[in-house]
Amino acid sequence: MPGYYELKSSSNGKPMFNLVAANHEIILTSELYESKAAALAGIDSVRANGTSLAAFEKRSSSADQPYFVLKAPNGLIIGTSQMYSSEAARDNGIASVITHAATTETKEV
């Protein structure tokens, strides 16, 4: 079963999305958008850029937890991962985004 995009409204009503893996785990979370159309464009950007390893930036939080961001060619962040327990787990998260980014399924919640 492929992954999917989950399009929903945040607690303040602004649209956002998650990329969800085949095992139903969230692997990438978007920023908040001003419109549904902008959120859908963000999903298209993940589809276009999320299959390229070069689009990922590996980072560590202030608590030294590994995570990653997915960037568009213009340098803007398209999505952010969860915090991981190890660099290996973070790298597996990146591989999961690369595997699932091209999915065409979007579920509105």
pTM of the model: 0.93
Question: Which residues are registered as beta bridge partners of 29?
Answer: 18, 80
Domain 4-108 has CATH 1.10.10.10: no
- Please give the average per-residue pLDDT across 69-79, as a whole number: 96
DSSP-derived pairing of the beta strands 77-80 and 106-108: unpaired
19-55 residue pLDDT tens: 999 999 999 999 999 999 999 999 999 999 999 999 9
Domain boundaries, the chain: 4-108
Amino acid at 91: D
pLDDT of residue 105: 95
DSSP-derived pairing of the beta strands 56-60 and 66-71: antiparallel
For 109, residues 6+ apart whose C-beta sits below 8 A from its C-beta are 6, 7, 8
By C-alpha distance, which of 67, 50, 38, 45 is closest to 3? 50
pLDDT of residue 2: 82
In angstroms, rounded to a whole number, what is the distance separating the alpha carbons of residues 65 and 80? 13
